[in-house]
Structure 1
Amino acid sequence: MFFLFLLLLPGLQAKAQDRVSLTGTLRSAASGEVLIGASVAVAGTTNGVETNTNGVYTLTLVPGTYQIQFSYLGFETLTREITLRRNTRLNVELQESASQLKEVVVEAQRNTFQERLSTPQMSMETLSSREAKLLPALFGEVDIIKTLQLKPGIQSGGEGSSGLFVRGGSSDQNLVLLDDALVYNPSHLFGFFSVFNPDAVRGVELYKGGFPAQFGGRLSSVLDVKLREGNRKETDVSGGIGLIASRLTVEGPIQKDKSSFLISGRRTYVDVFTRMINKGKENDPDWSPIPDYYFYDFNAKATFDLGPNDRLFFSGYYGRDYFKFDDENFNFNFNWGNRVASARWMHQFSPRFFVNTTFSASNYEYQIQNQLDIYSFSLTSNITDFSLKSDFEYIASDKHHLRFGGAITDHTFTVGRLESTSQDGSVNENAGNTYTGQEYGAYVSDDWTFSPSFTLSYGLRLSGFVNGGKNFLGLEPRAAASYRLSETLTLKGNYTRMYQYVHLISNSGASLPTDIWYPSSPGVRPQRSDQYTLGLTKLYKDKYLFSTEAYYKKMNHQLDLRDGAQIFGNNELEQEFVFGSGESYGQEFYVEKKDGKTTGWIGYTLSWSNRTFPDINNGKTFPTRFDRRHDLSIVAIQEVSKRVSATATFVYGTGNAFSLPVQRFIFQDVPGEDYTVIPVYPERNSFRLAAYHRLDLGLVLKLRPKRGSSDLTFSVYNAYNRRNPYFVYFETLQEEDSDLITGFVAKQVSLFPVIPSVTYNFKF
């Protein structure tokens, strides 16, 4: 693959010999942070580029004099007249638009929409932390993943869940990256909040399909989260105080204009109140203690400019959840969390040639403990990764943009380490199983602007995994094309193959993190998916963007647990696995408006998601739990005045599929002894919960402190108090003063009624 690239390189370079390059870095004038995805274009033409993940742009032109326009949403557009005779470096700082002048926003948005029309990339959603903070949130806690769930093709697992189910894929089929380091469990509070602190996050990109060749290892999506670099100009302190959590961020220069740091942390304090309530009820025999729960997380980042061509980045994350229930009959402790660190070196060989080399480490673990007078146990499981990768970017000419690179990851899996102690003091230990595996990949891709109307992006990834003497190999072709039917209408299509070599084994349909990551092995083949997408993108009056995409995804070697499987303390875990296939397909519709006093979007998805396992459901195809026929979201943001913004979000979704017993029979081995009630289930997931719908309202009031900035954010979650279903259980009916069962009644459990909240945010 790389040999072919080297053969093609001289021909690609030849066409660029009579051209010169304008290159540089775009930054915010206020903070010095780089601007990713900013537009750099020749005024009055369609010739333009976007800044890359380092804020660097390279514009290739014939020698001459040009009006170059630099723009970014929320910043004032800057136009410079530049005469190019040789390769030139021009670093630019853009001023934030305090007044949000209409023509400034419209011009920046026009450039953004034009880029969406011209690029072959589709099935991609971008979101900044600034945008997420405008929307109403549960308990006032802003969550970037929850905001992404409002986009078409991206679904939640249920009420309050921050898990992502993208185009029919399961939650473990999402590749989640934080500054290029892998995050295995991106959730707090049993899935209700994500681990990403909005004050530390610069923005996210979510790929639902058409995955660039540099990404691999998962089937359904790539969530690429980037942390902010911190203010290079002056020290800032920001944070927020809410109903259930507070957060604080400190950032500033290490050496002014050359290096910066950012430190951010947050913690919930519900446990403080529950402990006070429990303490006052200690002597009440009828009191059932409230579980003790809290989470915290911590982000840090440091950035250094080593020279005009070199930058160094260090990032870290640590987060932990603690859940405890303790009374005289039951003592239960549960904690889990992630540790992530990365170091990245960016080097610019020339105006057209860059490399990013990243070393990262990631660890996810959980521990369950139960301690009673007669028996206690401790169960732990974890996965630890060390990764090294290099990504090269080469702008061969104004028609060819090449990327190539490789990565290797060393995995260590610890599955089900169990330690128990009986009443007599004897200790039983089961070390569980420890597995190792090496995952690797190499890729090359090219974005080819064949003509002003036709653009092709194509590439190939070679991936592999080694474990237990077995070497798996996978060829992953990638292709995407866009054809501009007119100035405002583009037809796009793509095909992607993906392999997944690590698998999540869960013992529950809920979003509890009692999960085990398991490697591919001689008995467990890698998962594979093939996805096809076709879509149209339309720009109307330079301010409305409409897109629709139809997709079909086929998944092979899907893994599940057989009915009644035992995964804890089981050293023969593979005997509990069953294997099958899956498919998902659907149509997505999306309308977006970002300029003017009223902004927002409408997204709708019609979709199907099914699985087929020979050993489940008698081999019949069944819908997944997250199969959702209709999924609608409406988001509106109204600028009432310069100080007041109002927001509203409405969501509707078909109820989740689930299994329900249709009858029961009683089994009694010996007359007069206790009997057992055995439920009888029909086909798997043959019932539906009631439809889910909810309206959230929000109001942001900007205050006028003497220094810095601050605001009050008011939100109302579930404004009309819809009792949405979380799960269904059966209550047993018995004759009075008798153990005789007379029937069963289905009961619905709902989590959140109407919840008002207020959060004070500050920055100085």
Structure 2
Amino acid sequence: MTAICLPRLALLFSMLAALPGMAAWAQAPTAYTLSGQVRSSTGEALPGATVAVPALGLGVAADAQGAFTLSLPAGRHQVLVRFIGYQPLTRALTLSRDQRLNLVLLAEGNELDEVVVEGAVTLQEKLRSTQMGVETLTIREAKLLPALFGEVDILKTLQLKPGVQNGGEGTSGLFVRGGSSDQNLVLLDNALVYNPNHLFGLFSVFNSDAVQSVDLYKSGFPAQFGGRLSSVVDVKLRAGSREKIGVTGGIGLISSRLTVEGPLANHKGSFIVSGRRTYFDIFTRALNQRNEGVEDYQPIPSYFFYDLNAKANYRLGEKDELFASAYLGRDDFSFQSLSSFNFDFAWGNTLGVVRWQHTFSPKLLLNTSAAVTDYKYTLGNRLDQFSFDLGSAIRDYTGRVDLDWLPTDRHTLKLGAAFTEHRFGVGRLQASAQDNRFNFGADVRYSGQEIGLYASDNFKVNDKWQLEGGLRLSGFQSGSEQYGGVEPRAAARYSLNDRTSLKLNYALMYQYVHLVTNSGATLPTDIWYPSRLSVKPQRSQQVSAGASFLLGGGKYLLTNEAYYKWGQNQVDFRDGAQLFVNAELDGEFLFGRGWSYGNELYLEKKTGRTTGWIGYTLAWAWRNFQPQRGTTGINRGTDYSPSYDRRHSLTAVVIHQLSPRLNVTASLVYSSGAPTTLPLGRFAFQDVASSEQEVVPVYPDRNTYRLIPYHRLDLGVVWKLKPNRLFRDSDLTFSVYNAYNRRNAYFIFFDTVKDKASGQIIDYRAQQVSLFPTIPSVTYNFHF
């Protein structure tokens, strides 16, 4: 058999090599590899920095870690390194073997160390990339934009991108291209974050002082990501300075921040520690103490949150580097009445990641990591001698291996595997009395094992065509139930010319864990539940196509993307479902299908004194749940729109530099009203026993009404102060949230209208509740 197969294989390879573009793949050009990393003088990686050899017309942009790889012929070369905000660097070298360089750039003038790439190179890379639906958020942009209470929030900034909807006024939840909130994969240095919100969703858990970069994938998901259906939010923490100790912080209306960073072990490594805390509780407790003993005074609940980020890296040798990241965040809400009733509610995330990076060669890189993620909440009531405690939790132990390989200049291969042990605490209940009249508890727990294997190849066929194909094999087991799926990913880019490109991609995703919620927005009390028994994995597919155009001499990038997404085994709940401490929770689920489609138009500018973007989305989202499991389904099996469906969305962001020390910013948001369910009418009946009249509301189909359209204008000013002996850099940030005081609808309730003479109810009147009026704020930021 071998004698027969070998000639056939040889013939097959010779035929493949004869195909256009395949010869370059089969035979790598004779060249040496120049690789390395681009950093600032403070040790900060500079993603997007360009490393080029102008004489040969060759160049490459550094990745998110500042790393680059470039194939060059043997001989002498002049290497030019550029990065906006930094002095250009020219390095002469003679290449006679593979070589690695550590390139350090010096900041120009008095530019802040946090300057990030925002030049035409970024737009060129987006034009040439096969990825679609990717938004990269710079921390500088996030810090310049006006924010609620002056608290910079990267998730709220992502809501300003097309295709991303919020969960309501003031919330930081994300609903991407018609997907629900639990269908977003949120990662912090590759560790999963289950609840990325503080203050019931008003702020995200990400401290901007500790964040290096944020990437949002709305489609064309790379094969290394899995487990969710709608989007990937990939957040990377900053590495600390390897040169000197630095302190950065800020003092705002509701919170303060402090970050310390510096070198480790003779500049072989670095560390960064960043903390943030609110002080709501300080004022509320002082006010409660001041009014203690005042008749009819109602105490104000106490609330605060804090979070702590830490990261360290250490170079073990020429080819090995070790990284460690950690996050701890807690929210605490408590109420102590003047009577004997007490209420306590606490929730938070804890995670830790250790990653070892080994460089086999400039073209072969291995990353091995281990992570622990823990999310839990506890809710407790105390009334006289009785106590009641409710809680839920999920903990993950994850190990993964990722291999990056550049076999030729035309191919970029990624391969890897990941395994996660999930431990679900679906519900824990404890009730007792101090006199021991009763004491009982209940605890519902499950476990699940998730595995993923992936491989992808980015293939540059020629100057016109670039292809990317990926395959992910995923599986999940909980108890005796096992599930699995094949997840293909494919993308293509065709360049009409150096200013125009066409793109197309397809992705299939599986989701094996589900968020148990009975509201449109993520709440701390929501429960994560595994695929088991009747609860099958969710599945979705998405096709998208688009065109990108560089305009105005490369200063503007205009993109237009259309998408269609459809999914099976979407999850909802029967009316009156018992969601807490239910050992048979799977019996409360209903299953259906969902689909969404739309078009996203996006124009951005990243150079000059005026930068920003404009985005417009026209979109539809639908769901259908047929009669099942003894119910009539939802809306009797007819199609309906989920609460996060928005027909029209428009965002405009402008950042203008009036002078080197003064920036003004503005952001305008408009979206169609959210679908909601309101009573159609009411009927009254007389209780014969009590002679009292009862009024019962009558509800129509789900989400048959829409709230009024949402729109808001935010304004901001950032004034950089002159350096002094204490502070090298400092600024005052002024912002006005909801500048023209738009009363946006938070929710609707019905108030009674009574007859003045008889006191009888004669009508019901809808009342709108608005959350935020015009809110000015000021924050002082410093760095020394």
Instruction: Give TM-score, length-normalised by structure 1.
Output: 0.95
Find the counterpart in structure 1 of residue 564 from structure 2.
Answer: 552
Give the counterpart of 1:161 among 171, 176, 187. Answer: 171
Task: Sort the Cα spacing of 1:78 and 1:671 in 2 relative to 1 into closer, same or farther, 3 A.
Answer: same
The answer (yes or no) to whether the contact 1:41–1:48 under 8 Å persists in 2 is: yes
Q: How much has 1:44 moved relative to structure 2?
A: 7.0
Q: Look up the SS of the partner of 1:623 in the other structure.
A: coil
Question: Equivalents in 1 of 2:294, 2:687: separation in Å?
Answer: 41
Question: Equivalents in 2 of 1:157, 1:73: separation in Å?
Answer: 36
Amino acid at match of 1:546: L
Matched, 1:249 2:269: no
Find the counterpart in structure 2 of residue 373 from structure 1.
Answer: 384
Find the counterpart in structure 1 of residue 767 from structure 2.
Answer: 747
Give the counterpart of 1:142 among 146, 152, 158. Answer: 152
Question: Equivalents in 2 of 1:262, 1:508: separation in Å?
Answer: 38
Matched, 1:201 2:201: no
Structure 1 stretch displaced more, 636-645 or 284-293: 284-293
Find the counterpart in structure 2 of residue 571 from structure 1.
Answer: 583
Q: How much has 1:81 moved relative to structure 2?
A: 4.4
The answer (yes or no) to whether the contact 1:70–1:79 under 8 Å persists in 2 is: yes
Q: Percent identity?
A: 55
Q: How much has 1:308 moved relative to structure 2?
A: 1.6
Find the counterpart in structure 2 of residue 632 from structure 1.
Answer: 650
Find the counterpart in structure 1 of residue 747 from structure 2.
Answer: 727
Task: Sort the Cα spacing of 1:563 and 1:77 in 2 relative to 1 into closer, same or farther, 3 A.
Answer: farther
Matched, 1:611 2:623: yes
Amino acid at match of 1:753: P
The answer (yes or no) to whether the contact 1:32–1:257 under 8 Å persists in 2 is: no
Task: Sort the Cα spacing of 1:470 and 1:284 in 2 relative to 1 into closer, same or farther, 3 A.
Answer: same
Query: What are the Cα deviations for residues 120-156 of structure 1, in whole angstroms up to 9, with x where unaligned?
Result: 0111011122221011111011111111111111111
Q: Look up the SS of the partner of 1:199 in the other structure.
A: helix
Give the counterpart of 1:505 among 516, 529, 543. Answer: 516
Query: What are the Cα deviations for residues 226-262 of structure 1, in whole angstroms up to 9, with x where unaligned?
Result: 1111111000111000000001111111223211111
Matched, 1:689 2:699: no
Task: Sort the Cα spacing of 1:46 and 1:755 in 2 relative to 1 into closer, same or farther, 3 A.
Answer: farther
The answer (yes or no) to whether the contact 2:406–2:412 under 8 Å persists in 1 is: yes
Question: Equivalents in 2 of 1:168, 1:69: separation in Å?
Answer: 45
Matched, 1:623 2:641: yes
Question: Equivalents in 2 of 1:698, 1:369: separation in Å?
Answer: 41
Find the counterpart in structure 2 of residue 420 from structure 1.
Answer: 431
Question: Equivalents in 2 of 1:41, 1:499: separation in Å?
Answer: 41
Matched, 1:312 2:314: no
Find the counterpart in structure 2 of residue 716 from structure 1.
Answer: 736
Task: Sort the Cα spacing of 1:243 and 1:607 in 2 relative to 1 into closer, same or farther, 3 A.
Answer: same
Structure 1 stretch displaced more, 329-338 or 171-180: 329-338
The answer (yes or no) to whether the contact 1:240–1:759 under 8 Å persists in 2 is: yes
Task: Sort the Cα spacing of 1:407 and 1:535 in 2 relative to 1 into closer, same or farther, 3 A.
Answer: same
Matched, 1:266 2:276: yes
Find the counterpart in structure 2 of residue 466 from structure 1.
Answer: 477
Find the counterpart in structure 1 of residue 544 from structure 2.
Answer: 533
Amino acid at match of 1:96: A
Matched, 1:584 2:604: no
Question: Equivalents in 2 of 1:332, 1:508: separation in Å?
Answer: 22
Give the counterpart of 2:100 among 89, 94, 97. Answer: 89
Give the counterpart of 2:405 among 394, 398, 403. Answer: 394
Question: Equivalents in 1 of 2:452, 2:470: separation in Å?
Answer: 13
Q: Look up the SS of the partner of 1:169 in the other structure.
A: coil
The CA RMSD over aligned residues, in Å, is 2.2
Task: Sort the Cα spacing of 1:106 and 1:376 in 2 relative to 1 into closer, same or farther, 3 A.
Answer: closer
Task: Sort the Cα spacing of 1:89 and 1:511 in 2 relative to 1 into closer, same or farther, 3 A.
Answer: closer
Find the counterpart in structure 2 of residue 35 from structure 1.
Answer: 46
Amino acid at match of 2:592: G
Q: How much has 1:373 moved relative to structure 2?
A: 1.5
Question: Equivalents in 2 of 1:510, 1:529: separation in Å?
Answer: 21
Query: What are the Cα deviations for residues 569-614 of structure 1, in whole angstroms up to 9, with x where unaligned?
Result: 3221111111111011110011111111111111111111111111
The answer (yes or no) to whether the contact 1:72–1:108 under 8 Å persists in 2 is: no
Find the counterpart in structure 1 of residue 698 from structure 2.
Answer: 680
Matched, 1:701 2:719: yes
The answer (yes or no) to whether the contact 1:590–1:601 under 8 Å persists in 2 is: yes
Query: What are the Cα deviations for residues 89-142 of structure 1, in whole angstroms up to 9, with x where unaligned?
Result: 1221122233679xxx99972222221111101110111222210111110111
Query: What are the Cα deviations for residues 408-439 of structure 1, in whole angstroms up to 9, with x where unaligned?
Result: 00000011100112475334433331100000
Name stretches of at least 5 consecutive residues in structure 1 with no aligned partner. Answer: none
The answer (yes or no) to whether the contact 2:722–2:730 under 8 Å persists in 1 is: yes
Q: How much has 1:735 moved relative to structure 2?
A: 4.0
Amino acid at match of 1:317: Y
Structure 1 stretch displaced more, 122-131 or 414-423: 414-423
Give the counterpart of 1:450 among 431, 456, 461. Answer: 461
Find the counterpart in structure 1 of residue 664 from structure 2.
Answer: 646
Task: Sort the Cα spacing of 1:539 and 1:719 in 2 relative to 1 into closer, same or farther, 3 A.
Answer: same
Name stretches of at least 5 consecutive residues in structure 2 with no aligned partner. Answer: 1-8, 627-632
Q: How much has 1:86 moved relative to structure 2?
A: 2.3
Find the counterpart in structure 2 of residue 231 from structure 1.
Answer: 241
The answer (yes or no) to whether the contact 2:545–2:562 under 8 Å persists in 1 is: yes
Q: Look up the SS of the partner of 2:663 in the other structure.
A: strand
Question: Equivalents in 1 of 2:502, 2:56: separation in Å?
Answer: 21
Question: Equivalents in 1 of 2:314, 2:692: separation in Å?
Answer: 71
Q: Look up the SS of the partner of 1:550 in the other structure.
A: strand
Q: Look up the SS of the partner of 2:104 in the other structure.
A: strand
The answer (yes or no) to whether the contact 1:478–1:497 under 8 Å persists in 2 is: yes
Question: Equivalents in 2 of 1:426, 1:389: separation in Å?
Answer: 51
Q: Look up the SS of the partner of 1:185 in the other structure.
A: coil
Task: Sort the Cα spacing of 1:129 and 1:354 in 2 relative to 1 into closer, same or farther, 3 A.
Answer: same
Structure 1 stretch displaced more, 314-323 or 13-22: 13-22
Find the counterpart in structure 1 of residue 535 from structure 2.
Answer: 524
Amino acid at match of 1:417: R
Structure 1 stretch displaced more, 722-731 or 417-426: 417-426
Question: Equivalents in 1 of 2:386, 2:333: separation in Å?
Answer: 20
The answer (yes or no) to whether the contact 1:106–1:595 under 8 Å persists in 2 is: no
Question: Equivalents in 1 of 2:70, 2:372: separation in Å?
Answer: 35
Instruction: Give TM-score, length-normalised by structure 2.
Output: 0.93
Find the counterpart in structure 2 of residue 760 from structure 1.
Answer: 780
Give the counterpart of 1:59 among 70, 73, 81. Answer: 70
Find the counterpart in structure 2 of residue 124 from structure 1.
Answer: 134
The answer (yes or no) to whether the contact 1:419–1:427 under 8 Å persists in 2 is: no
The answer (yes or no) to whether the contact 1:430–1:569 under 8 Å persists in 2 is: no
The answer (yes or no) to whether the contact 2:600–2:618 under 8 Å persists in 1 is: yes
Amino acid at match of 2:762: T
Question: Equivalents in 2 of 1:595, 1:45: separation in Å?
Answer: 27
Matched, 1:480 2:491: yes
Aligned residues: 755
Task: Sort the Cα spacing of 1:97 and 1:339 in 2 relative to 1 into closer, same or farther, 3 A.
Answer: same
The answer (yes or no) to whether the contact 1:322–1:333 under 8 Å persists in 2 is: yes
Amino acid at match of 2:556: Y
The answer (yes or no) to whether the contact 2:173–2:521 under 8 Å persists in 1 is: no
Question: Equivalents in 2 of 1:36, 1:431: separation in Å?
Answer: 51
The answer (yes or no) to whether the contact 1:245–1:267 under 8 Å persists in 2 is: yes
Query: What are the Cα deviations for residues 458-517 of structure 1, in whole angstroms up to 9, with x where unaligned?
Result: 010000001121111110000011000111000011000010000000133354311000
Task: Sort the Cα spacing of 1:106 and 1:682 in 2 relative to 1 into closer, same or farther, 3 A.
Answer: closer
Q: How much has 1:68 moved relative to structure 2?
A: 3.3
Q: Look up the SS of the partner of 2:144 in the other structure.
A: coil
